[in-house]
Amino acid sequence: MNWKVFFRVKPVCNMSSRLKVLLVRNNFPKKAIDLLSTRFDLEVCKMSNINGKSVTTQDIIDCIPGKFALFCFSEIDVNEAVLKAAGPNFKVVGTMSVGYNHVDLTAMKKYGVRLGYTPGVLTETVAELAVGLVIATSRRFFEANRELKTGGWKEWNPTWMCGRGISNSVVGIIGCGNIGTSIAEKLSKFKISQLLYTSRCEKPDVKALGGRLVSVDVLVKSSDFIVVAMALNEDTKFIVNRDRIASMKPNAILVNVGRGELIDQDALVEALQEKRIRGAGLDVMTPEPLPLDHPLMTMDNVLLLPHIGSSTLETEDEMAMLTAQNILAVLDGKPMPCEVIL
């Protein structure tokens, strides 16, 4: 659907002109857009590069002056230059994501701008994908599918395309918030031998599954399957660093559904190339999109997905609605349903 630059309906509250929300794309779920359009004029950010796939920071700077709110997602960098360009009427950023490392929190606090996000909504969706990556990577689904389609499947062979089972293995989850806990619950059903996890404090729900709270160093050395499911911030960047990758078991499979920069990707590439670990399943990477000539693209022992952890129709609709509700709450002077406290 091609939208015009503004969506206009009758003014509310006897205002001669309504406040405006800047949308960073024109294809957010319709239900959320319809909700916002009852109270705001909506403008879609113009792209300076007509062949571009997404808006740039400069595009946002060019379009945001005078706006009340920005409706964005995790690939959009909201920095001080954006906030400065927005002007005094700018009050809220609504990001359709659970992570908010793309937002400069210091600058947000400086300019008095509130931040809404969408935690909880995508917990089950991302956890499902994480389990799918564990299975697909360990059982070599994509490799086997490629062999089938390219003529590599000649006859049955007892050692061909053998992967690794999850039962009787040690599973480690780095970051046991809502998503990590859901992953732990799902993988514990596979009759694993041990469940390890990292967190700032002990998680009763995970402990009840037989989970044991350990350090990151102990987890990476001990686990057959390592799932990274934490938020990215200054403290967690490269939490899976070169030394920790070097300490992993030769049969280890590393899965990441958090953010690309949680892992030292160069060190991971080397470990995969040298077959020092069995494989990796990545829904997030650095940069995104990953260049087609990147070494990860050519490896048989890595499974890549294009950051689709939250990509179900139901989840995207719910995330968009929550983002709209966060923005509307600021307009009405009410607490947001989900606000990042700055």
Type and span of the H or E element at 233: none
Residues with Cβ within 8 Å of residue 149, at least 6 apart in sequence:
none
Helix, strand, coil percentages (3-state) for the chain, rounded to 5, are 35, 15, 50
From CA 322, how far away is CA 235, in angstroms rounded?
A: 28
**Residue type at 296?**
L
Phi, psi of 50 (to 5 degrees): -65, -20
β-bridge pairing 170-174 and 194-198: parallel
**Residue 125 pairs with which residues in a beta bridge?**
none
Contact (CB, 8 A) for 35 and 23? no
Contact (CB, 8 A) for 218 and 196? yes
Alpha-carbon separation of residue 305 from 1, 30, 237, 280, 333 (angstroms): 27, 26, 21, 11, 40
Phi, psi of 145 (to 5 degrees): -65, -40
What are the counts of helices (DSSP H) followed by strands (DSSP E) for the chain?
Answer: 12, 14
DSSP string, 84-101: HHH-TT--EEEESSS--T
Q: Among the options 252, 307, 315, 328, which is catalytic?
A: 307
307 is catalytic: yes
Catalytically active residues, by annotation: 307
